[in-house]
Amino acid sequence: MPAAQLTLETFWTPAGDGGPPAYGLRLTNRGRTALRDFRLCLSGPARLAPQDAVEGARLTQRLSNFTELTALPGTSLAPGGVWEVTARSLSYPLRHWSDGATAAYLVLPDDSVLPVAVTPTARRDSNAPLRRGTRRFPVPPVAPVPVSILPWPAEVAVSGQRPTPAGLDIAPCGPASTAAAGAFAALTEALFPVEALARSAAENGAPVTCRDDDALPPEGYRIAFGPGTITLSASARAGFLYGLITLGQMLRGARDHPQTFAFPAEGRIFDQPRMGWRGCHLDVARQFYTGAEVARLLQIMAWNKLNRFHWHLSDDEAWRVEIDAYPALTEVGAWRGHGLPLPPLLGSGPARTGGYYTKDDIRHLVALAGSLGIEVIPEIDMPGHCHAMLVALPELRDPGEAGTYASVQGFPNNCLNPALPATYGVVETILDELIGLFPSKFIHVGADEVPLAAWSGSPLALARLEELGGRALRDAHAALKDSLGNHHGADAIEGSATALLQAEFLARIQSFLARRGCVTGGWEEAAHGDVIDKDESYLVGWRDVAISGRLAAEGYGIVVSPGQAYYLDMAQATDWQEPGAGWAGWSGPRETYDFDPVAGWTRVQLARFMGVQACIWSEPMTDRAVFDRLVFPRLSAIAETAWTPAAAKSWDRFAALCGLMPNLYGHWEG
């Protein structure tokens, strides 16, 4: 292998003066050997348009955000030399610095690979420092409230000040409080090592007396403060745990910021959540997160009193859950790299990278979540978003299928075929194994972003369409073959032949899950065709509040998670220097906090409202400092919307308190 040191710089020039935008790449050879006949492979959220004509190279391979550019004949990159390429047509243009290439490598004629160092994409008209790490919200000298609790309780009436306890000596009164005390001790040791928030009287722990109170709701609690006493009442483990978390937050605030917060001498707190569904979703397909990372996210969720973890376990880019019946799903679908069936995507380099969760991993994490009052909802996204699954199990393709369609993300022919009998045997086997792993009665099956032209070249699908709707419907759909679809937004398929086929698939899968005693979850597109049983399903609305409200009015149970406010991969401002995506807009911490998830809803619609959910999509998360910036404190803002009575919300109070909340990786701005 030649000695080479290679650096890739990328540049974004927005459209101006009527001209197209330009995505420029500059590869510099800092080594001692000239390079010829090479191919540059790169990936990042930005996607070149299919068959894009680039200047200075040939586009020889493109799979979604993975791009291979081949040097033109006669190109030689001498030591100290620079090779420049410009692309002017992108199916996903750049809006923020994290959209550009985040990984690259060079492939030589013998197929050997040279590493390439990649610098963050620069915008030609901006030299502002790039932002990473959680935005700091300093605790003010004077706060709007005397105690530090987030999310803010339903009722707080406390006064006075007693010496801040060194820790809490919890005296359980039965099985529920005993379990909660153990979970609180483990939680605080994990989030705040050596602080010993739970400690015995021998270590100067302040006594906390627990009392059972069946009049309180399962997640509610009451705390009474008196001279030298703290009494915590609840009816269930969750209520006791949330009460202890409140006490732990108060203790930490008063200890670390005594000039601002007090530990009260007397008074009471009554608390219960505003919403039953207080969720956080994590996409582990685009980027892989180890079991340890997932565990810490669960712990942070609990500290925010969130109670639903939506685990997005599969997508086009990877398959992440062990399935005994189909080992190829993880043997093939969990790994990306040069020369592998799945190429490097979204910042993964040429080396084999990825991973999956074994069944033992999942059992451990589900048990941890359960101890923290969190229900885990697994998602296998289908029939769309199945590129990795189909690469691993090619027998799930119609052998007679011809032509190409593509998803909005640029994955070709990525949908399970509803007309192929084998589809249902495989899917039902996978779901049976999942049901055995997850005690939750909710199983989410995706159903989003199926391209309009899906299955247009499948003889099996076309034959089924003719049975369902006649020859004209079949012929109209067949005419879409080799149609790439709308790559600037998800295709609208309502009323189409594609929606008809998806509806048939979903009706069968939902019926199967109902027979297993499960409720089927889906993204809002699962409503296409109006075929799923509304009493045995729920939808996550991701476009906007109006669409979620319309679906609620139609009788669907709705979890509201609009992209413009609750998708935590969206940037926090329009500035180039902010990381994150921008296709759904932007939302800073205050905009997320102030967002009303049920604005304008009627009483009928509110009767089908289940709650809200943050969604952490992982395309820009290769840089974990970007994760910390995008997720925090916006996750806490959503948590307060989900818990605190709407009339009791206060941005000034939230801004004074949110800086006390932990983030995942310890990256802070500045």
Is residue 64 within 8 A of residue 41, CB to CB? The reply is no
pLDDT score at 76: 95
- Residue 220 sits in the same domain as residue 322: no
Query: Is the entire prediction scored with pTM above 0.75?
Result: yes
Distance of CA 44 to the CA centre of its chain: 17
Buried b vs exposed e over 89-121: b needs ≥16 C-beta within 10 Å? bbbbbbbbbbbbbbbbbbbbeeeebbebebebb
Judge if 260 and 282 occupy the same domain. no
In a domain, 129, yes or no: no
**Is a pLDDT exceeding 70 seen at residue 481?**
yes
Output the pLDDT for position 488.
61
CA distance 296 to 332: 28
What's the pLDDT tens digit per position in 184-232?
Answer: 999 999 999 999 999 999 999 999 999 999 999 999 999 999 999 999 9
Q: Are 341 and 209 in contact (CB under 8 A)?
A: no
Pair (576, 561) in one structural domain:
yes
CA torsion, ordered 287, 289, 293, 294, to nearest 10 deg: 100
If asked whether residues 177 and 308 sit together in one domain, one would say: no
Task: Say if residue 440 is in the same domain as residue 330.
Answer: yes
Please state, in angstroms and rounded to a whole number, the distance separating the CA atoms of residues 172 and 178: 5
289 within 8 A of 622, measured Cβ to Cβ: no
* CATH classification of the domain holding 459: 3.20.20.80
Domain interval for residue 64: 6-123
Within a domain: residue 148? Answer: no
* Residue 422 pLDDT greater than 80, yes or no: yes
**Of 123, 146, 168, which residue is a domain's last?**
123
- Domain count along the chain: 3
Tell me the average pLDDT of the chain.
Answer: 96
Whether the per-residue pLDDT at 51 is higher than 90: the answer is no
Same domain? For 171 and 99 the reply is no
Query: Rounded distance, CA 242 to CA 234, Å?
Result: 9
140 within a domain of the structure (yes/no): no
Same domain, 217 and 292: no
Beta-carbon count within 10 A of 365 CB: 21
Is 136 inside any structural domain?
no
The answer to whether 466 touches 474, Cβ cutoff 8 Å, is yes
From residue 111, alpha-carbon distances to 106, 312, 338, 350, 577 in Å are 9, 34, 10, 12, 36
Are both 211 and 311 inside the same structural domain?
no
How do residues 369-386 score in pLDDT, each as one tens digit? 999 999 999 999 999 999
DSSP structure class, residue 309: E
The answer to whether residue 145 sits within a structural domain is no
- For residues 350 and 425, membership in a common domain is answered with yes
Q: What is the pLDDT of residue 3?
A: 47
pLDDT value of position 4: 56
Q: What is the Cα–Cα distance from 450 to 310, expressed in whole angstroms?
A: 21
High-pLDDT (> 70) share of the chain, %: 99
DSSP 3-state of 2 = coil
Of 484-488, 566-570, 617-621, the one with minimum mean pLDDT is: 484-488
Please determine, for residue 283, whether its predicted confidence score (pLDDT) is greater than 50. yes
**Using alpha carbons only, what angle is made at residue 293 by residues 375 and 168, rounded to the nearest 5 degrees?**
70
CATH number, domain containing residue 77: 2.60.40.290
- DSSP-assigned letter for residue 337: -
Q: Is residue 282 part of a domain?
A: yes
Residue 212, C-beta contacts closer than 8 angstroms, at least 6 positions apart? 173, 174, 176, 177, 233, 234, 235
609 and 651 share one domain: yes
Non-local CB neighbours of 627 within 8 Å, separated by 6+ positions:
616, 621, 664, 665, 667
Domain-embedded: residue 665: no
Mark which of 241, 271, 301 sits at the end of a domain. 271
Q: Are residues 213 and 333 in the same domain?
A: no
In this predicted model, what pLDDT tens digit does every residue of 150-195 receive, in sequence order?
999 999 999 999 999 999 999 999 999 999 999 999 999 999 999 9
Residue 487: band (very low, low, confident or very high) from pLDDT cuts 50, 70, 90: low
In a domain? residue 668:
no
CATH code assigned at 171: 3.30.379.10
pLDDT band per the 50, 70, 90 thresholds, residue 486: low
The residue among 208, 243, 271 that closes a domain is 271
For residues 599-625, average pLDDT: 97
Give 1's pLDDT tier (boundaries 50, 70, 90).
Answer: very low
The length of the chain in residues reads: 670
Distance CA 661, CA 643 (A): 16
Listed in sequence order, the residues at least 6 apart from 472 whose beta carbon sits closer than 8 Å to its beta carbon are none
**pLDDT tens string 529-570:** 999 999 999 999 999 999 999 999 999 999 999 999 999 999
| pLDDT over 90, % of the chain | 93
CA atoms within 13 A on the CB side of 126: 19
Q: How far is CA 462 from the centre of its chain?
A: 35
Tell me: do 296 and 264 sit in the same domain. Answer: no
